[in-house]
Amino acid sequence: MDMKKISIAIIVIAALMSVVLAAEKKESPKAAAPKAATPKAAAPAPASGATSTTFSVFGSLAGAFIFTFFGYYLQLKTYFVLKSSKSYLDSYYLKIKLQPYQTKSESHNPSAKWLISSLQSGASAICQSASSKMTTSVERAQYSDRVPIRSIILRPDGGSGLAGQQARVGGWVKTGRKADKDAFAFLELNDGSCAGNLQIIVEADKGDLGQLVLTGTCLQVDGVLKLPPDGKKQKVELQVEKVIHVGVVDASKYPLPKTRLPLELLRDYVHLRARTNTMGAVARIRDELSYATKRFFHERGFRYVNTPNITTSDCEGAGEMFQVTTLISEAEKSEKNLIKNPPPSEVDVESAKLIIKQRGNDVAQLKSAKASKQEIGAAVAELQKAKENVLKMEERSKLQPGIPQKDGKIDYSQDFFARQAFLTVSGQLQLESYACALSTVYTFGPTFRAEKSHTSRHLAEFWMVEPEMAFAELEHDMDCAEDYVKFMCQWLLDHCMEDMEFFADKIDKSCIDRITMSAKTPFARITYTEAVELLTEAVKNGKKFENHVEWGIDLASEHERYLTEVKFQKPVIVYNYPKEIKAFYMRLNDDSKTVAAMDVLVPKVGELIGGSQREERYDVVLSRMKEMGLPIEPYEWYLDLRRYGTVKHCGFGLGFERMVQFATGLDNIKDCMPFPRSAGRADL
């Protein structure tokens, strides 16, 4: 049983006991007297309050038992964690484990708040006393001799407990300066394991200080950790004993100076920008959110399914797909080949045919002259060769430059997959086939959209998290989406505070408040019709939108952001959209005008999630496809899912980079992706 469950159990038991006691007091008029309502008053049992006394005694005993048990459990857990630990660092992990309780103690329930905070302070005390007794030693990275900087400076003591320890560290110099008439240099070293740097001190006899202080220089050094002089902000620094490796930098050419470059400019150096504070933090946040995603779905019984990147069906039917073909490269190749090695002319073919004739005559003559078997065999082989040569020549004479055509159209039967194929815009359709077998599944992979929109929210290649659930309807879909977003927000608060504080400091002051609010506040839920009413009302009250508002429009980003940022000031789920603006697979509602679609809108970003209940009725989905002019043949397999063993099901897609944008507050989605691709640009 985990600690969370235990604390919940305690709260539930305490709540039950108070309910029972309250009921008891109601039954007995004397026990209901104001004084008897307090625990103290319950102790001297009044004659008619025998049952109440029994409960109070029972309550105290049960309470004592629970607290003892919990205290024992906590100590035991601490003991085992510390016993199995190799270093002081584990006590830090233990402290991290307790963090969720701290957040919960902000609950409005005073008894839960009191209970959790006392448990927490007890746990911290145990943690502190245990860690103070521990022998201190540095933590090596598992597959390297280096000590990750994170494991030094992110300890609760900032690394001071490691003073005196030998450590080998590696990283890239963020800033450096020489001091004391060039007798030594101070360097800020970062290895990407965390946002913070380790200060290292190198004396002049250990290396070329002029080189070492340059931003971007890679260093690996051995040294001793020591306490810095009082008044310094860092808790520990490394006195270098030996420089092991230097990856030099030519400062006149290195494009990333120590001063901050605008993010837009950094996009010209996607291969180097991971070394900047911002992109390093984005990379760690992405990793944490990926891990949180896997945890969220795995722990709820969803199976991870790998849907194809190359597909022959257009999921969204929006015609924004990148085509996958070898026809163009093949055409280029054959054009080059034809120039080098032109096809045979008709005359060449005719003369090759004459050779066949001659060889045939040779065979006939040898046979009539009763030549040896060997001689005849050799002549037959020559004849065969001549025939094969003509076949090849005829084949080559048909070769034409350019892309193969048939009946005036491109002949895709000659393409790599013998049909038209594309990069996927969503794994949903294929995922549905697994949901209709494994019930709850999800996929998390790259998706591609040939959208030419140059907005701060669109990429041509982005990652999408898509769950799909059978035996579930729109309400379940919205619940899952809300829980998932909340889970990720809480994860960031519990595991990424160092990086989140960086974003709050440098990029968007409100980012921590935004994710804290999103983790704790129930999302608003409104129908599309209500959303349009609210927007119309806003227009009446003087709000100016660039895009006209009326029932039937596809909500623009400005509308979405007004709803979530101004009207509700929290995430909003809009559902039941007009069928005309949504995809063919969404379930038609009884009004025949709207479909069971839902979008999750969040501040800063607008649409974060798009999802729906799927149309599981064969006839309805078929007529929707026809209505929308979709070709039926490529979707026959999809219709099979409705022909055989159909089931109500639903799902959604979360744009992963938009989630990163929501969390970090970065203005442009291109900075939320390591190697962004957008119209006109695909570096590396």
Distances (CA, A) of 178 to 184, 251, 557: 6, 16, 51
Q: Are 217 and 248 contacting, i.e. CB atoms less than 8 angstroms apart?
A: yes
Q: How far apart are CA 550 and CA 567, in angstroms?
A: 18
Which residue from 653, 661, 671, 672 is in contact with ligand 4AD, where contact means CB under 6 A? 653
Site size toward ligand 4AD, by CB under 6 A: 23
Binding mask 389-428 for ligand 4AD (x = CB under 6 A): -------------------------------------x-x
Do the beta carbons of residue 605 and residue 661 sit within 8 Å?
yes
Q: How far is the CB of 127 from ligand 4AD (least distance, A)?
A: 40
What does DSSP say about strands 572-578 and 524-527: parallel, antiparallel, or unpaired?
Answer: parallel
Among the listed residues 610, 651, 655, 676, the single contact to Mg ion using CB under 5 A? 610
CB closer to ligand 4AD out of 206 and 649: 649
Q: Which residue has the tokens 């060769």?
A: 385
Give the span between the Cα atoms of 603 and 355, in whole angstroms.
80
Element (H, E) at 489: helix 474-495
With CB under 6 A as the contact rule, which of the stretches 128-136, 405-413, 558-566, 648-656 interacts with ligand 4AD?
648-656
Here's the x/- map for ligand 4AD, 574-613, by CB under 6 A: it reads as ---------------------------------xxxxx--
Nearer to ligand 4AD, 358 or 455 (CB): 455
User: Could you tell me if 379 and 366 are in contact, meaning their C-beta atoms sit under 8 angstroms apart?
Assistant: yes
Query: Interface mask (CB under 6 A) for ligand 4AD, residues 665-684, using x and -?
Result: ----x---------------
| Residue 307 Cβ vs ligand 4AD, minimum distance, rounded to whole Å | 10
Contact status: 651 vs ligand 4AD (CB under 6 A): yes
Please say which residue, 352 or 436, places its beta carbon nearer to ligand 4AD: 436
For the chain, report the end-to-end CA distance as a whole number of angstroms.
49
Cα–Cα dist 582/612, whole Å: 10
What CA–CA distance (Å, rounded) separates 49 from 35?
13
Q: How far is the CB of 58 from Mg ion (least distance, A)?
A: 56
Q: Which residues of 22-39 are buried (b: 16+ CB within 10 A; e: fewer)?
A: eebbeebeebeeeebeee
Residue 655 binds which entry of Mg ion, ligand 4AD, none, CB below 5-8 Å type-dependent: ligand 4AD
The listed partner (Mg ion, ligand 4AD, none) that binds 466, CB under 5 to 8 Å by sort, is: ligand 4AD
In the complex, minimum distance from the CB of residue 502 to ligand 4AD, in angstroms, rounded to a whole number: 24
**Which residue of 435, 657, 660, 670 would you call a contact of ligand 4AD, by CB under 6 A?**
657
Q: Report residue 183 as tokens.
A: 């007798």
Q: Residue from 275, 495, 579, 658 that binds ligand 4AD (CB under 6 A)?
A: 658
The letter for the amino acid at 30 is K
E strands, 357-457, where? 405-406, 409-410, 421-423, 440-448
462 binds, among Mg ion, ligand 4AD, none (CB under 5 to 8 A by kind): ligand 4AD
Burial classification of residue 446, based on how many CB atoms lie within 10 Å of its CB (0-12 exposed, 13-18 middle, 19 or more buried)? middle
Q: Which of residues 302-361 bind ligand 4AD (CB under 6 A)?
A: 315-316
Residues that bind Mg ion (CB under 5 A): 610
The footprint of ligand 4AD (CB under 6 A) covers: 315-316, 426, 428, 449, 451, 458-459, 462, 464, 466, 607-611, 651-653, 655, 657-658, 669
